[in-house]
Structure formats: C-alpha cells, structure tokens
Structure 1
Amino acid sequence: MPRRLASDLMLPCNDFWLFDDQLARIHHFAGDGSLMGDEFSSEPDILKLFAAAFEGAWERAISHEEFPV
C-alpha cells in the first residue's frame, strides 16, 4: 500500500512473521539492510499487537496492478 494510506496504522518498527497467532519471528536489520539477527516471541501482548497491525494493513492492501508508480 502507499505509505500515505498507513499513516494512522500502528505498525511495528521491525519486520516480523506471525505464525497462526501463536509465534512471532522478529527480524532485526542494520542500517544498510543486512540482517543482524532475529528472535522468537510467544508473548500474548506482542502477538496481539502484531496480529492487529497485520489485519489493519491487509484491509487496506491493493493489488500490484493498482499500485501507483
């Protein structure tokens, strides 16, 4: 989605993968984009925040064909 459509979403600062709302893999990147490492969390509060962020972004997602260049 264009960034302007995400201004009011509370998105995590780190990239993450969410597995069945049971486990999160949180990625940590350096300023140059290289992967510094990752961590796993099953903390319910973190999982809830990540799930809400994903759902909010997914609701506003647009297809690649519609994405403005």
Structure 2
Amino acid sequence: MTPVTDERFDELVAEFEDNFVHLETRDAYGTAVELPYLAKWLAGEHDDLHWLRDWCANLRRKRAAGRSMRRVRVVSEPLSDYQRWSHSIAQPMVDAGEDIRWVPRRRVSSIAFPGNDFYVFDGRLVLFLIYAGNGLATEKLVSTDAADIRLCQSAFEAAWKLSVPHVEYKPV
C-alpha cells in the first residue's frame, strides 16, 4: 500500500472514469473540515452548507457525464450525534447525484469488512481512510492489489443490498 496526499485524493475523486463506491463504518469522525459545522449544528445554529458546494459541484459534473457515485454508511442505532448531523446534511449530496444509503450495524453482522473505511475507484484501486480513535483522519493508503479490491467491492455490495436509501432512512 502506498500513502497518498490529500491533493492526490482530490485528484482521484475528480478523475474517476466510471464509478466510485464508498463505505463508512465509524459512528463518529472528526475531520478538520467538518468539526466547526458539527459544532454549529450541536449548538442549534444555522448552516448554509456553503462548505459543501465544491463537493456537490463535482458530483453534479460526474452525474451529468453518466458516472455513478454510491456511499453506504454503516451506523449504530440510536445514531451518534455525528451521524444525526451527517444525515441532516446529506440531501444536497443526494440531489447532486451521490446515492447515499444507510444500514444499521446490526444488519451487517455476517459481512466481512476490511479494517478501514474505503473508496474503490473504477474497480481498479482502493483508497483506505485511516482514522485515529478520536475520529481525526491520519492517513490515506492506496492499493491496486486485486485481493484488496475484491474484498472491498464484496463488502460494499453486501452492505448495499441491506441498505436503505437516504430519503427513506429515518434516524433512530
């Protein structure tokens, strides 16, 4: 596996040719970008979601070009504050073309998951997202190993089959 920079990650998201799948398995994250907005939400303050505009613009361009973007969030219920917030801000991404789905953790007990969250780009490479215990991102690793790609695609598709589309998922 090869470490990659945030810039390289941004390039992978911008350059994929056909599809990406993304599996999230943590109940809370602490990304530097999101923390201030999560804090506002927890305080009951309004967020215009301006900070999501670039991501959504890229999603719209990819959707217009016929590309597929799917995400599954494996969540414990009742939802953590982070996941309740995440649910509250997901609709603009869905509207922009990312198919976001939710699956309660209890439903995925028999699925073999990789040890880390990941993206698979075009079925040709997997990018693992490494987090510290407090949810802060610490590293991104890329693998083109066929076994890694198969494991991640299999885990994603198994979770996808059990997942609920964002518009239908009611936070518990």
Name the CA distance, whole Å, in 1 between partners of 2:156 and 2:126.
Answer: 12
Report the equivalent of 1:39: 141
Report the equivalent of 1:6: 108
RMSD of aligned C-alpha atoms? 1.2
Residues matched between the structures, number: 69
- Tell me the TM-score normalized by structure 2: 0.38
Aligned CA distance change for structure 1 residues 66 and 39 (closer, same or farther; 3 Å): closer
Name the CA distance, whole Å, in 1 between partners of 2:170 and 2:112.
Answer: 22
Report the equivalent of 2:169: 66
1:12, 1:50 within 8 Å by CA — same for their partners in 2?
yes
Which 4+ runs in 1 deviate beyond 4 A? none
Q: Does 1:15 align with 2:100?
A: no
Question: Secondary structure of 1:66's match?
Answer: coil
Q: Which AA in structure 1 matches 2:127?
A: R
Q: Does 1:50 align with 2:152?
A: yes
Percentage of matched positions with identical amino acids: 36
Structure 2: state its 5+ residue gaps: 1-102
Larger Rg belongs to: 2
- Tell me the TM-score normalized by structure 1: 0.91
